[in-house]
Copies of this chain bind each other. A is one copy, B any other.
Amino acid sequence: MSDVVRITFLPGGETVTVPPGTILSDAAQQAGLQMNLPCGGRGMCGKCLVIIEQGEVSEPSEAELERLSAEQLAEGLRLACQTQAVEDVVATVPPASRVIGEKVLEADFLAGVERAPYARQHWLELSPPSLEDQRSDFRRLADALAETYAGLVAYPQALRGLSAALRDDEFRVLATCTGNRLVDVVPASAGGRCLGAAIDIGTTTVVSYIVDLGSGEILSSAALHNPQTQHGADVVSRIEFANREPKGAAVLREEAVGVANETIGVALERIGADRREVFDATVVGNTCMHHLFLGLDARYLAEAPYIPVTADPVDLQASEAGLDIYPRANVFCLPCIAGFVGADTVGVIAAERLTDREKPCLAVDIGTNGEVALWSGERLLVASCAAGPAFEGAQIEAGMRAGPGAIDHVWRDGEDITVTTIDQLPPEGICGSGLFDAMAVALETGVVDPMGRFVPDEDGLAPQIASRLQGEGNDRRIILAENSGNNGPIALTQRDVREIQLAKGAVRAAVQLLLAEVSLDVNDLEEVLIAGAFGNYIDPASALRIGLLPPVPLEKVRAVGNAAGAGAVLALISRGERGYACQVARAAEHIELMRKPEFQMTFMETMLFP
């Protein structure tokens, strides 16, 4: 047995040298890889599965024998938190076992927001009862809080332990209320915090932010892959799964709730907090995620006329939602607007206070389903467009998700083209941001014309560029880089360009039609906001160059990060912000683009490149 062993994690190839006997999850952390350990690495949750590809490891622990079948063990599946490396090891970390980089929150969105959370904790010292003062225990407490709550009522469960809690520490208690309801009373000596969880259920990624509701500070966060992805990358295929499979909807709900619980667990673990300290939760997500999370029938979202079960704000208890936090914590699901304009869009509008602006402003959230919100200065219009999965790398020949080895940027480098990849690994494919850049470069170099056609011959092209062109017809392509894998070189093809045209045309058509609705011109826009993680990775110049965004000066474009998540955090911190979200959802006018006679004509135009 040597005194160090070398552990390599796939697919990223992160490598670390550690003493033999090191637990794999510890080694992963040293390698800069965040494992999913909601149970704190005690072998209880079975969430840190790895596949041992090579090398000897310790015998399965009792916890592993309990959680893994003989078959799974035979296939090399192990729990990273239980397994020690005996010699050099190569292990694959599946997406579900990995905590992914959090979605970015703009740092300043909390500035100036009033701290008035829906859930509040109060330290109280009450006078003890006597024959002269026979008020009930609850009335005594409610009277002490009368200035804060006009008509405090109590959950019966909170009443059940009230008498003992009051008498345990001489009528000094910590009382926690949500809205005007008493949810929990403990003796002051028992202590405890009042935390909130803002949950952003994305189609691909689920992230939770843990907020100290006393200070309004974000203490922690965690993101995980949405396990629903295994049933389809986009919302429509998940609805099909729900309709097709027996209990499909129940499976999708369990997965959404389960992954929300896991993100909360990981985020709480990081700050040493307990699930029962979380007294409030807010939820954003597109209308489909919202419905699946709540166990609502998503069937009619996917067929015309695209009707949600409800778009109103929904409040429910954590135990009803299945969230593993304080059982009677309130869960506030931000309202949606329409079948394809969800609570995530409401979150963006709320976080950016779109309707507080004097001048017109456009917010665009780009994904498989694009959402566009336009504030005209007087009216708030929203629309959705089916951009298709091209921007997420699907239906693109060399497309892949934004993971290690994906080409994320493409430049014109003198007379040639150069690329960078995520984690500087050998290129394996191209992700959305790289695709935009490649398309912009193809236009800039004259390889593709404004109609979206590859030039038939190399005349007039720089020689290095010309040498990259191959194929004919729909297979015509420009080589971007050699592939590190077994497939051919990574290229942008004629077919890919057509997919990009359809996608960006849909987004632009939505923008054009909304502007026309309020008789505004692109030049009237004060700002164009790009929401979503995507916005943080794409090059706005490329987005402008290919005409995904309307033609505004580059300085008017701003990436606002995970503004949907920011909206959920704001709703935790301030009842006023929560009310604002409800108000904008009601005020928003949803424009159904399919109904517009001019839709097809506009779409044809917006598919062209500038």
Contact = CB atoms under 8 A, between A and B. Distances in A.
Given A129-B307, A130-B305, A131-B594, A156 B295 contact: yes
A339 B338 CA distance: 52
Nearest to A287: B136
A132 interface: yes
A590 interface: yes
Contact of A297 (B132, B156, B163, B595): B163
Contacts of A294: 156, 159-160
Interface string A504-533: 000000000000000000000000000000
Given A159-B296, A299-B163, A312-B153, A307 B136 contact: yes
Interface string A132-154: 11111111001000000000011
Contacts of A336: 136
Given A138-B310, A159-B314, A131 B305 contact: yes
Contacts of A142: 312
A584 to B, nearest CB: 16
Contacts of A254: none
A306 interface: yes
A134 B309 CA distance: 11
A316 B136 CA distance: 19
A162 interface: yes
A154 B142 CA distance: 27
Contacts of A123: none
Contacts of A338: 134
Contact of A159 (B129, B307, B310): B310
B131 A309 contact: no
A359 to B, nearest CB: 29
A336 B136 CA distance: 10
A164 B297 CA distance: 8
Interface string A311-339: 11011100011000000000000001011
The 3 closest A-B pairs by CB, nearest first: A138-B310, A163-B297, A136-B308
